[in-house]
Structure 1
Amino acid sequence: MDLLASDGVTPLRQHLAAYTGASHGFGGQLSNWNPSSKSADAALLPQLKQANARADDLVRNHALATGGVQLHVDNIVGSLFRPSYKLNYKVLGMNEQDARTFIKEAEQAFIEFAESPQCYIDAERKRTFTMLVRAITAGHCHHGEGMAVAEWINRPGSMFRTAIKLVSPKRVSNPRGSSNTNRLRAGVNTDRHGAALGYWVKEDTYSDYGDLDSYGGNWKYVKRETNWGRTQFIHVFEPLEAGQTRGANLFLSSMEQMKSLSTLQDTKLQNAIINAMYAAVIESELDSEQAFQLISGEGGAEQMQKWMSYMGDYHATAGIKLGGAKVPHLVPGEHLKFTQSNNADNGFTDLEASMLRYMAAGLGVSYEQLSRDYSKVSYSSARASINEAWRYTMGKRKVIAAKFASLVFGIWLEEALHKGILTAPKSRFSFYERRDAWTKCDWIGAGKLSIDGLKEVKESILRIEGGLSTYEKELALMGEDYQETFEQQAREIAERKAQGLPPPSWITSLQLSPEQTEMEQA
């Protein structure tokens, strides 16, 4: 028997609880809410296959899910994912001038190879480097992770043998469906600390009928790294809890609502079609005695058939029209009744908008971005919404896209140095001794969306002039490389001068003081 508080209703232990959310709640509304406490793997791995299959179905068949994935790809990666090589030449003991020359050569050599239309960097020769990063980012949305294998392929026309083969996370699983253990979870072989040592990848096999076999096949074990430290299997995801082995897709928190909205929209569309299908009906008046004789009387079925055949022949030859000017002639006792659709919206728009906001929060984007509806926002609210989404974008760019890109860059740079294609400056440490110092790299992706270009350009200029930012940071926000911009500006100024054209207006506005100008002219 529970002791009651002073109100005579609430149990005393609930009344004295420090956290009401952990008790029965006001009126006991939390009494039946008793979720089990599970680790990330215990909660995710048993449902991983089904969760990803449902997410795949949403992305294939639901416009909002497709749009959400496309938003991530376009905002995080963009049309060109370019490196900003940050060789740590001070740690390596290099001469600064020699290091900067090497940095520029390495960037250009990587872009030439990675963005080649021949797609040598892709083992399947279908994607450029940017397309690979876009595919990893898209896969992270509806699989929660991105996977790839570093291959060594000799192809005519390519200076490098390094190639990246994307791996579907659906193919990484325990061999022959074996159960999870402390060291093997969902196809990932780990050490005693939980660090991945290698991955079991199911190889595709086809049945005798040419169909992809979902049950047969062999599993291939791929080490995470070679004995000398070269990355072989790339696995990028953002663990939300210690000990998490696989990633959770972004649709899990809003999957139920997204599927429900799809069903609701289909039902609403069918209702609207049915309401619009019949503009008018013809009503016939039959008294009870006549109806009974037609339906139940002797020969009722035959009489009903004859009567309906007669009415059909009459209406077919009477020329009844709704869109024409002719007034229809009906059988005596019939009259024309027009139909109209009632409750066309019935609160559906508000409900849809509410569910869209819920889904946008789950996907980390703004409602306006997901719905493509900017009709109800002001400049300030739209800018605040974009800024919040931008923080999320930059976080995912760093954790997912840039991590994958940096690993690929490091694999490529190792080969370029090993083959002597790039000649590095004299250094105190070899590539294998200080790998991170050699391969440190930032990445420039899609620029930040501009709501009011003029205001935001002025803001950037004020930040630079106030010493709060740099040209490198501001141009990176626009998706541009400041060094390429400066070099192009210098070329254009020289070409304008050679052609006898005046300098650009922005240079004129920043000219020296009149006294200095007169001294130069003298």
Structure 2
Amino acid sequence: MSKVQILAPNGLPAREQLSTWQGAGVGFGGQLERWQPRLQTIDAALLPNLKLGNARAEDVTRNNAFAANGVQMHIDNIVGHLFRLSYKPRWRLLGISDADARAFAQDVEAWWYEYAEDPVGCWLDVERKRTATMMVREAVGTHTKLGEVSAAAEWVERRGTPMRTAVRMVSPKRIGNPGDRGDTANMRAGVEFDRNGVAIAYHIRQLASGGLGLGTGFGGEWRRVEREAANGRIKFIHVFEPSEDGQARGANQFLTVLEQSHMLPKLQHTKLQNAIVNAMYAATIESELGNDAALELIGAGDESVEKIAKYMMAVNSFNSGSKLSMNGVKIPHLWPGEKLHLQTSGNVDNGFADFESSILRWMAAGLNLPYEPFARDYRQSTYSSARASMMEGWRYYMGRRKVIAARFATHLFVLAFEEALQRRLLTLPRKATRGFYEARASWCNCEWIGAGRLAIDGLKEVKEAVLRIESGLSTYEKELALLGEDYQETFAQQVREMNERREAGLPPPSWMQAQALAPEQPEPTE
């Protein structure tokens, strides 16, 4: 006996539509009946249109001011003007004391700033255009637009520095299968994998002449670059945040807002043209002149020009003869069948500002940015709402700083730090029980200090920080990091300034006097 299957009125199996979850059923009134998306892996959904999606994201950030501002906000809030190294070797695992670790950390940080942040030499960059901070800023901007960051470690001999380690920034657009071939079991979108899903090599498309803007700038050759050398030294850096197992490439953040980002400028241009047209004409006259008569006036027959002139003179004579006026203002008496329409600019907006704000809120949500700074719109913001928006954005920035910016910067640091140890530019503490290759992660542990958090009410936030420190809930290191500063540099500078004040005969600063100069302020109402 064959299996009996009950069908719903739409002809589909009823069992599949009787879900207790409305979202998995047909929905109210069958509204979800035709919504039948396929279950796909992230690569199956992303890779077929990866190039097109990235191209659209780049085009939007070039031509949409709000999209460009969204990228810049990521850069300024995640990285800032200086991405500071806070080197923290795990001294307990390395067999050294805390004092030895702090002394070594000072040497390492001084060496890093000399080598990586030299604004003249730019030794860390193969092209010698970028400092380490500039490379991280570029990495964050690229990740925002393309969803991933890539760079290649190279060995370059140069005069002016004993270091040979240099990093070449590689656009993710250049990663792809050789010859644009299709994906295979062990290669997807230019990334080679082993049987465990570990990336082992990348295929980089070489550059060629751009053809004066007529070409793409890409050549027809690919170069295979291994991910790491036999000793574990990184040869190619690829950073992105995967959202699913087996993911080969990153997804850019503009994919969810590309449609809105593309249409908003067109909407603005159309509205601007409408406003210009309204401003050009102060008034128009609507006439009920028939088609035949109108055609005859404007071009039918050889005497059209003469007829138009006679018609306009007759209308002008009629209007000039009108003697009607009110409060000294002349009121025209129109020709029979004419209607006067005054053009005003009062309806130029016609709800456009609210509609534009709605689109910008959608874009801000898709880019995980606070609406107010993204749209440059603070008209309806209060102190509480602005602070809540800022704190929500700050939590997102900190996640991106840790997962993307700090990880990329740590890769740069590890590459240079390894060579510095080999060249004796740095020497590990003598009492260390484990060498660099035995405990690479412990020797290369570091934190990165980026842009400081925006303060809406500086006085309140300073008092809040002091109370956290005094109550043991925080430290000077954490609070100064929120300001984008290194507490050790701040303390050292305070000692120098106090000594200089003492030598100059000036009294030391008083915290009580500072508090007296900054009394309690009432809670802002807006």
Scaled by the length of structure 1, what TM-score is found? 0.88
Q: Check 1:291–1:457 CA distance in 2 against 1; reply closer, same or farther (3 A cut).
A: closer
Residue in 2 aligned with 1:358?
Answer: 362
1:383 positional shift: 1.1
The equivalences for 1:159-178 within 5 A come to: 159-178=162-181
Note if contact 2:207-2:218 (Cα within 8 Å) is conserved in structure 1.
Answer: no
Q: CA deviation at 1:346?
A: 2.2
Partner of residue 509, structure 2: 504
Tell me the residue number matched to 1:188.
191
Q: Distance in 1 between matches of 2:23 and 2:290?
A: 66
2:113 to 111, 114, 135: 111
Task: Supply the distance in 2 between the matched residues of 1:260 and 1:210 (Cα, whole angstroms).
Answer: 25
Q: What is the 5 A alignment of 1:88-103?
A: 88-103=90-105
Indicate conservation of the 8 Å contact 2:192/2:202, yes or no: yes
- Hey, what's the Cα distance between the residues in 2 that align with 1:186 and 1:288? 64
Assess if the C-alpha contact under 8 Å between 2:206 and 2:219 holds in 1.
no
CA drift of 1:284 comes to 7.0
Which of 9, 21, 38 is the matching residue for 1:19? 21
Mapped to 1, the partners of 2:137 and 2:290 lie a distance apart of 71
Tell me the equivalent position of 1:489: 494
**2:479 aligned residue:** 474
RMSD: 3.1
Distance in 2 (CA, whole Å) between partners of 1:326 and 1:303 is: 37
Separation (CA, whole Å) in 2 of partners of 1:72 and 1:96: 36
Q: Partners in 2 of 1:330 and 1:508 — Cα distance? A: 78
Question: Identity of paired residues, percent?
Answer: 52
Q: Please tell me whether the aligned partners of residues 204 and 212 of structure 1 are also in contact (alpha carbons under 8 angstroms).
A: no
- Matched with 1:513 is none
Indicate how the Cα distance of structure 1 residues 344 and 208 shifts in structure 2: closer, same or farther if over 3 A, else same.
closer
Residue number in structure 2 paired with 1:302: 302
Q: How does 1:446-485 map to 2 (within 5 A)?
A: 446-485=451-490
Q: Alignment partner for residue 145 of structure 1, among 141, 148, 151?
A: 148
Corresponding residue number in structure 1 for 2:414: 410
**How far did residue 314 of structure 1 move?**
12
SS state at 2:161 partner: coil
CA change 1:26–1:179 in 2 (3 A) is same
Distance between the aligned counterparts of 2:397 and 2:331, measured in 1?
64
Q: Deviations over 1:249-272 (max 9, x none)?
A: 000111112222222222212211
2:81: which partner in 1? 79
Q: What's the TM-score once normalised by structure 2's chain length? A: 0.87
CA contact (8 A) 1:410 1:439 kept: yes
**Matches for 1:314-329 after TM superposition, within 5 Å:** none
Residues 211, 266 of structure 1: alpha-carbon distance in 2 compared, 3 angstrom cutoff:
closer
TM-fit CA distance, 1:306: 3.4
Q: What per-residue deviation string (whole Å, max 9, x for no partner) do you get for residues 36-83 of structure 1? A: 110000000000000000000000000110000000000000000010
- The offset of 1:13, in angstroms, is 4.0
Structure 1 residue 368: Cα displacement: 0.8
Q: Deviations over 1:221-259 (max 9, x none)?
A: 111111111111111100011111100000011111222
Which residue in 2 is equivalent to 1:122? 125
Does 2:385 correspond to 1:381?
yes
After superposition, give the CA deviation of every residue in 1:465-506 in whole Å (9 maximum; x if it has no partner). 111111000100110000000100111111111111000122
Mapped contact 1:95–1:425 kept (Cα < 8 A): no
Partner of 2:55 in structure 1?
53
Compared CA separation, residues 184 and 310, structure 1 to 2 (3 A): farther
Tell me the SS of whatever aligns to 2:234. Answer: coil
Distance change >3 Å, CA 508–CA 294, structure 1 → 2: closer
Which residue in 2 is equivalent to 1:518?
A: none
Distance 2:292 2:260 in 1: 53
Structure 2: gaps of 5 or more residues: 321-327, 516-526
- The answer to whether the 8 Å contact 2:205/2:219 transfers is no
The within-5 A match list for 1:326-345 is 338-341=342-345, 343-345=347-349
Residue 518 of structure 2 corresponds to none
Counterparts of 2:119 and 2:33, CA distance in 1: 61
Does structure 1 retain, via aligned residues, the 8 Å contact 2:85–2:449? yes
- In structure 2, distance between residues paired with 1:507 and 1:491: 21
Deviation at 1:340, TM superposition (A): 2.5
Aligned-pair CA distance for 1:90: 1.5
Moved more, 300-309 or 80-89: 300-309
Is the deviation greater in 119-128 or in 345-354? 345-354
Q: Are the structure 2 counterparts of residues 314 and 500 from structure 1 closer, same or farther at C-alpha, using a change threshold of 3 Å?
A: farther
Residue of structure 1 in register with 2:523 after alignment: none
What amino acid sits opposite 1:467 in the alignment? G
Q: 1:211 to 1:350 in 2, by over 3 A?
A: closer
User: Structure 1 pair 72/209, CA: closer, same or farther in 2 (3 Å)?
Assistant: closer
1:50–1:207 distance in 2 versus 1, CA, 3 Å: closer
Q: Deviations over 1:374-400 (max 9, x none)?
A: 221221111111111111000000000
Asked if the contact 1:49/1:170 (under 8 Å) is kept, the reply is yes
Instruction: Evaluate the alpha carbon distance shift between residue 486 and residue 313 of structure 1 in structure 2; reply closer, same or farther with a 3 A threshold.
Output: farther
**CA distance in 2: counterparts of 1:66 and 1:270, whole angstroms:** 23
TM-superposed deviation, 1:337? 5.5
Summarize deviations over 1:277-316 as a string: whole Å, max 9, x none.
2223466786788547547xxx93322233346789999x
CA–CA distance in structure 1, aligned partners of residues 438 and 399 of structure 2: 29
SS in 1 for 2:303: helix
Shift, 1:196, TM fit: 0.7
Measured in 2, the distance between the counterparts of 1:293 and 1:89 equals 97
* 2: CA distance, partners of 1:150 / 1:336: 74
What is the identity, as a one-letter code, of the residue corresponding to 1:358? W
